[in-house]
Amino acid sequence: MTTHHHAASVFRRSIRWASVLALSIAALAWRPTARPSYLFMWAGDSAHKASDFLAVIDATPTSPRYGAVLTVLSTGTAGTRPHHTEQEMPADGHLLANGFGAGETYLFDLTDPLHPRLATSFGDVAGFSHPHTYLRLADNTVLTTFQYGADSSMAHATMTDGMGMGGHHSTGGLVEMDERGRVIRSAHARDSSIADGRIHPYSVLALPNVDRALSTSTDMDQDDSADTGQWIQVWRLDDLALLRTIALPPGPRGNENQFTGEPHLLPDGHSIYIHTFSCGLYLLRGVETASPSVTFVHGFDGTDCGVPLVDGHYWLQPVPALHGLVSLDISDPEHPRQVSSVSVGDDELPHWIAIDATGRRIVMNSGGYAKGNRLFIVNFDPATGSLSIDQRFHDPGSTRAGIDLSNRRWPNGFVGTAAPHGTVFSR
């Protein structure tokens, strides 16, 4: 009987394990495939002759075409100087982008990534020209910075070689609008204590929990030698009333406060970092009070430090002088600490970055400003802050990391060099 019971027990266990194995195989068989990942790159012809375009790039790491340019949507307009897009793909799949040199806004419908569509485009809004930054609010309206007043004698000047537009523009403002440019409210950034034309709204941060917004000021026109851009402005978010204009204090070099760029809310929920294109990093506290405080906390090498972002308790900063990307641990906002960096080559001047929905992959390019002109993916570890170049993301048939954007044939028939800027991951 003992032998019989033992045999029966073994048989029952075998049946159970066979059932478990069968269920496991079935689960694997029915497991949905991973959502494809794409990069949307907003770019123009470096010679300003062929149409500006949005390129769709395969960004699925397991794809046999990882790194391939899959399709291109031409706008039909050349030489608008494609510049900023939104820094992350909106939930509705509609991406705003500016052709800054022409003062145009483009709305791309990317709900079907392999068949992108231009939904609409528009120019001046609410008496302002040359939009720069688009920020989605919780209700999907868009808080937008416009650099100039549309009444400026140079408001509709177009960029010549480089980023020059004549250097004479009246102060712009903020506009809350829908994604098609229909105005909800607007406000001038003029401050009576500062000469008109010395403030040019660049980027904006919304702080709905304290009914505030914060904007920065850097004129995109390189001909404007009088504007030193040390200003930030505090607004009441509800009605866009301008509450105060604050000048950042100089840093140790004396000029780190110039050309304020991107403001980001830190993980503590109340402190704000403000980066400058003079490679300074400033800490703002008490933005909801009558006396906000702002202090210099870090300086990066060189000048023209690019578009940063925050992921967890890390600040990720493109630093052209280092030809790469730097990661700072900002757990203690008053004492940020560098934990990692990567370099992508002496011929690159990294400027634009954006991160994917996992918080682990960063797309980076030189904004059309460098000889190297390659598009990279950088791997990021949100637990340690470490950075590494994705060596597998490259042109088909190449072994060099990154996508070469120069002297290539594009799917729309254009043969030439792309000047890229805003580039984002699909959701």
Q: Which of 13-27, 316-330, 335-349 has the lowest mean pLDDT?
A: 13-27
In this prediction, residue 28 carries a pLDDT of: 37
For the chain, what is the mean pLDDT?
91
Residue 224 scores a pLDDT above 90? no
Q: Which of 124-138, 142-156, 312-326, 364-378 has the lowest mean pLDDT?
A: 142-156
Paired tokens of 55: 């390129």
Mean pLDDT across the stretch 263-271?
97
CA distance 3 to 377: 63
Q: Which of 156-160, 247-251, 394-398 has the lowest mean pLDDT?
A: 156-160
**All domains in the chain, ordered by first residue:** 124-306 (2.130.10.10)
Note the pLDDT tens digit of each residue in 347-372: 999 999 999 999 999 999 999 999 99
Residue 149 scores a pLDDT above 90? yes
* Residues facing residue 362 across a β-bridge: 355, 378
CA distance 37 to 51: 26
User: 3-state class of 244 per DSSP?
Assistant: strand
In this prediction, residue 222 carries a pLDDT of: 78
Residue 3 scores a pLDDT above 50? no
Paired tokens of 367: 């904004």
* % pLDDT > 90, the chain: 84
Mean pLDDT across the stretch 389-401?
95
In this prediction, residue 129 carries a pLDDT of: 97
CA distance 342 to 378: 9
Residue 241 scores a pLDDT above 80? yes
Which of 19 and 205 is assigned the larger pLDDT?
Answer: 205
User: Residue 26's pLDDT band (boundaries 50, 70, 90)?
Assistant: very low
In this prediction, residue 195 carries a pLDDT of: 87
In this prediction, residue 23 carries a pLDDT of: 35
Mean pLDDT across the stretch 325-342?
98
Which of 153 and 273 is assigned the larger pLDDT?
Answer: 273
Determine contact, residues 277/304, Cβ cutoff 8 Å: yes
Residue 33 scores a pLDDT above 60? no
Please give the full DSSP string across 139-180, using - where no structure is assigned: TS-EEEEEEEETTSTTTT----STT---S---EEEEEEE-TT
In this prediction, residue 57 carries a pLDDT of: 98
Which of 347 and 23 is assigned the larger pLDDT?
Answer: 347
Mean pLDDT across the stretch 172-201?
96
Mean pLDDT across the stretch 294-316?
98
CA distance 250 to 254: 5
What sign for the dihedral angle of Cα 274, 281, 353, 407? positive
Residue 306 scores a pLDDT above 80? yes
Residue 96 scores a pLDDT above 50? yes
Mean pLDDT across the stretch 97-122?
98
CA distance 419 to 180: 26
Mean pLDDT across the stretch 415-426?
98
End-to-end C-alpha distance for the chain, whole angstroms: 63
In this prediction, residue 158 carries a pLDDT of: 57
